[in-house]
């Protein structure tokens, strides 16, 4: 898999496909996955624009995360990797932890964010501390955690192939990296940052998401001025894998609309 050495000294794993004059789209994964979760989107959006998915520090093909790595460090590393790949600005699409990182990216460097697509995520999770504590307690056996949690993550009945992919991807994660990612997502409180967003924003949520339920996306929609909110039926927390066609259609229409206005 390709890797890029960034100006902040970390080597970052990524997947890169597509060309074209349209604004690139960057994909950011959740705490229990890696860049590979975005393969259905990379194949789809590469038809008319550059499409890039990154691993966070410690995940996938990236270097181990330095001690104390935060969500803002993830955001800065993604920006550094984008720069090395010649991506000045992009539509930023993040799911769960990826949405948390996307909000942080806008807060740190808004001129590089053409738009935000925030999927199955939140500004502040009312049960975040409890979820974090449970995650840390189980993080010594990520395969066991994945097998125990997969049917909560996915709408039921889940496609067997998607179910297997979710388990195998989570089982590959380094436990230390997972614990860092868990702190970055579940302990986040970015309500003030969300209220300051001034780029076009699409909020998506699986109608059957039990991890970050639609009520949290509704709150996010109210926090972000002018944001658009859509639910996808028969989808849980990993809607880009569960309902890729519906996800791609909504995201594609949104970013084409943004591009046409700028």
H or E element, residue 203: strand 201-206
**Domain of 244, in residue numbers:** 3-261
Give 90-99 pLDDT, tens digit per residue.
999 999 999 9
Mean pLDDT calculated for residue range 112-133 = 98
Residue 17 has pLDDT above 80, yes or no: yes
Which pLDDT does position 7 carry in this prediction?
85
Paired tokens of 11: 């080597």
| pLDDT tier at 262, thresholds 50, 70, 90 | confident
Mean pLDDT calculated for residue range 142-148 = 97
The domain total for the chain is 1
Helices (H), the chain: 39-45, 71-84, 97-108, 128-138, 142-153, 160-171, 175-186, 191-195, 214-223, 239-242, 244-261
pTM equals 0.97
Which pLDDT does position 24 carry in this prediction?
98
Residue 148 has pLDDT above 90, yes or no: yes
* CATH number of 46's domain: 3.40.50.1820
Give 215-241 pLDDT, tens digit per residue.
999 999 999 999 999 999 999 999 999
């Amino acid at each position: 898999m390709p890797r890029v050495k960034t100006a902040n000294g970390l080597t970052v794993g990524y997947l890169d496909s597509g060309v074209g004059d349209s604004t690139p789209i960057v994909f950011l994964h959740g705490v229990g996955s890696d860049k590979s979760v975005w393969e259905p989107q990379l194949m789809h959006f590469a038809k008319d624009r550059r499409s890039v998915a990154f691993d966070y520090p410690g995940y996938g093909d990236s270097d181990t995360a330095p001690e104390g790595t935060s969500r803002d460090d993830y955001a800065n590393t993604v920006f550094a990797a984008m720069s090395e790949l010649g991506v000045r600005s992009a539509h930023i699409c993040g799911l769960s932890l990826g949405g948390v990182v996307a909000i942080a990216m806008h807060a740190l460097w808004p001129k590089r964010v053409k738009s935000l697509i925030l999927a199955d995520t939140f500004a502040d999770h009312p049960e975040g501390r409890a979820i974090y504590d449970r995650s840390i307690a189980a993080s010594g056996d990520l395969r066991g955690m994945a097998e125990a949690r997969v049917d909560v993550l996915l709408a039921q009945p889940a496609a067997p192939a998607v179910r297997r992919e979710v388990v195998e991807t989570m089982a590959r994660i380094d436990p230390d990296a997972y614990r860092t990612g868990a702190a970055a997502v579940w302990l986040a409180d970015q309500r003030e940052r969300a209220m300051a967003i001034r780029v076009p924003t699409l909020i998506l949520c699986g109608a059957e998401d039990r991890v970050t339920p639609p009520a949290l996306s509704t709150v996010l929609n109210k926090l972000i001025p002018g944001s658009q909110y859509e639910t996808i039926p028969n989808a849980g927390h990993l809607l880009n894998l569960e309902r890729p066609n519906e996800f791609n259609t909504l995201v594609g229409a949104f970013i084409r609309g943004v591009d046409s206005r700028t």
